[in-house]
């Protein structure tokens, strides 16, 4: 049963803690060390142990991808192609150019935007392989100009990969796909094995082992974010249809038992009706068991005195997905300061963004929308600045540079300028 709270009970709404328990940290560290030392052999052993699959060759072949395109079927291929166009059109607007400037005579400054050389995209397997996440990661990487895009995803017991995932990989422009999952796949992409190449950055969400592995390899390789459980927050008033609000909340609950669904409303009537609708609709879901555990553990309805108070609480929680389920939603958009992605109005369920509209579905979770952003083209580039001074320009600024260096007691810094400005023998 979903919990109904007042704002004073807000601490009970809670947020997921990103820190891993010590036993998980230790287990992942052991996996990473083993993969570093033993490469493919370690990945192969873990794949057989946890995925129940004996792997001879990790890399998916061209024939397997061709078969996947056929197995996925023309209808689903068409849907993914249309979604891909929307995703590309949105993300193309994120492409940034470098700049060059001359703030004074003899000085040239600038910034270059450079694509990463190789990125690794992790796609989870399990009961709900996420072909949508293939599109959302690979398309912005391709637009950024990444040299090589590889995907790693766990195989089924028979050694196959979900046809939808492979078809999405082809549509999105991935270069190579590997059959490896879990922390061992993250370690393989971070440090390289005989078969799986080392990448510059790893993106994509997974289970707790994957999240912890990404945390531990960060520094040796870049990562997009540490993804916690998925969450949704709906702000609605008494005019909202409780059936639709409940349906939108359950769309996140079916992700996993640790998913979070919150409704904030100023209407006690809506709160009660949504609670009843959740119970009714849960019984109709194929993934009822998973969704029910999510609702019972993490489902919340918060009743506020006003809609303005609802936005204040929402900004404190910094949800991954925020639905403004109100009339005239654009009039409320400026009230939002912390949210991964915002869905406006009564005809824009979060699922529109998960699959089709264009904005990315890889979003900051666990309240990290306070300081982080959705996956974008920016995640697949690096910035490099450059500086040029003529002799006259250095002479003009030299005294200031030397003075700054001396104030920090870094005399060699100052001397490197002084020897140019005042002469080699001084």
Which residues have a catalytic role annotated? 320-321
Q: Characterize 214-225 residue by residue with b for buried, 16 or more Cβ atoms within 10 angstroms of its Cβ, and e for exposed.
A: bbbbeeebbbbb
Residues 171 and 80: beta-carbon distance below 8 Å: yes
Tokens 């870049």 found at: 222
Contacts 24+ apart (CB under 8 A), 383-387: 383/98, 383/111, 383/112, 383/113, 383/114, 384/111, 384/112, 384/114, 385/109, 385/110, 385/111, 385/112, 386/108, 386/109, 386/110, 386/111, 386/112, 387/107, 387/108, 387/109
Tokens 């909340």 found at: 249
Question: Given the DSSP bridges, would you call strands 299-303 and 260-265 parallel, antiparallel or unpaired?
Answer: parallel
Structure tokens that stand for 133 in this block: 């996440």
* Sequence-ordered list of residues with C-beta below 8 angstroms from that of 57, at least 6 positions apart, any chain: 195
Contacts 24+ apart (CB under 8 A), 268-273: 268/303, 269/238, 270/236, 270/237, 270/238, 270/240, 270/242, 270/245, 271/4, 271/301, 271/303, 272/4, 273/242
Q: In angstroms, what CA-CA distances link 118 with 150, 199, 217, 299, 424?
A: 8, 5, 16, 40, 45
Give the residue among 275, 376, 370 at the shortest CA–CA distance from 319. Answer: 370
Rounded distance between C-alpha atoms, residue 180 and residue 183, angstroms = 9
Stretch (H or E) spanning 152: strand 148-153
Residues 325 and 234: beta-carbon distance below 8 Å: yes
Contacts 24+ apart (CB under 8 A), 6-9: 6/302, 6/303, 7/302, 7/303, 7/304, 7/305, 7/309, 7/313, 9/302
Other CB atoms within 10 Å distance of the CB of residue 80:
24
Structure tokens that stand for 43 in this block: 């990945």
Stretch (H or E) spanning 270: helix 268-282
Rounded distance between C-alpha atoms, residue 59 and residue 195, angstroms = 8
Please give the backbone phi and psi of residue 10, each rounded to the nearest 5 degrees, phi first: -55, -35
């Amino acid at each position: 049963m979903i919990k109904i709270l007042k704002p004073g009970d807000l601490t009970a709404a809670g947020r997921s803690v990103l820190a891993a328990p010590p036993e998980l940290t230790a287990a992942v560290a052991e996996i990473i060390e083993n993969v570093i030392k033993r490469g493919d052999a370690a990945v192969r052993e873990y794949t057989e142990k946890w995925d129940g699959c004996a792997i001879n060759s990790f890399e998916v072949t061209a024939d397997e991808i061709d078969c996947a395109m056929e197995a996925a079927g023309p209808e689903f291929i068409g849907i993914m192609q249309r979604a891909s166009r929307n995703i590309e059109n949105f993300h193309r607007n994120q492409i940034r150019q470098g700049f060059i400037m001359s703030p004074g005579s003899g000085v040239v400054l600038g910034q270059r935007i450079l694509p990463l050389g190789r990125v690794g995209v992790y796609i989870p397997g399990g009961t709900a392989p996420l072909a949508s996440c293939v599109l959302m990661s690979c398309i912005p990487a391709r637009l950024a100009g990444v040299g090589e895009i590889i995907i790693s995803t766990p195989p089924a017991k028979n050694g196959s990969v979900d046809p939808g995932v492979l078809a999405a990989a082809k549509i999105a422009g991935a270069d190579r796909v590997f059959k490896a999952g879990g922390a061992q796949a993250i370690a393989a992409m971070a440090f390289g094995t005989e078969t799986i190449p080392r990448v510059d950055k790893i993106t994509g969400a997974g289970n707790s082992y994957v999240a912890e592995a990404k945390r531990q390899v960060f520094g040796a390789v870049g990562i997009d974010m540490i993804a916690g459980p998925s969450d949704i927050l709906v702000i609605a008033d008494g005019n909202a249809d409780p059936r639709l609000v409940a349906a939108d909340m359950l769309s996140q609950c079916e992700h996993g038992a640790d998913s979070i669904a919150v409704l904030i409303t100023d209407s006690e009537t809506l709160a009660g009706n949504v609670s009843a609708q959740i119970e009714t609709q849960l019984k109709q879901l194929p993934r009822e068991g998973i969704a029910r555990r999510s609702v019972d553990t993490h489902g919340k309805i918060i009743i506020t005195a006003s809609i303005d108070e609802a936005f204040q609480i929402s900004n404190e929680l910094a949800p991954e997905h925020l639905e403004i389920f109100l009339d005239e939603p654009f009039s409320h958009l400026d009230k939002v300061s912390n949210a991964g992605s915002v869905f406006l109005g009564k005809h824009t369920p979060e699922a529109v963004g998960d699959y089709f509209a264009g904005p990315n579905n890889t979003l900051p979770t666990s309240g990290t929308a306070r300081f982080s952003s959705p996956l974008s083209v920016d995640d697949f580039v690096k910035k490099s600045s450059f500086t040029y001074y003529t002799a006259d320009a250095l002479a003009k600024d030299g005294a200031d540079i030397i003075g700054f260096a001396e104030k920090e007691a870094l005399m060699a810094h100052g001397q490197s300028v002084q020897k140019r400005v005042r002469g080699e023998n001084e």
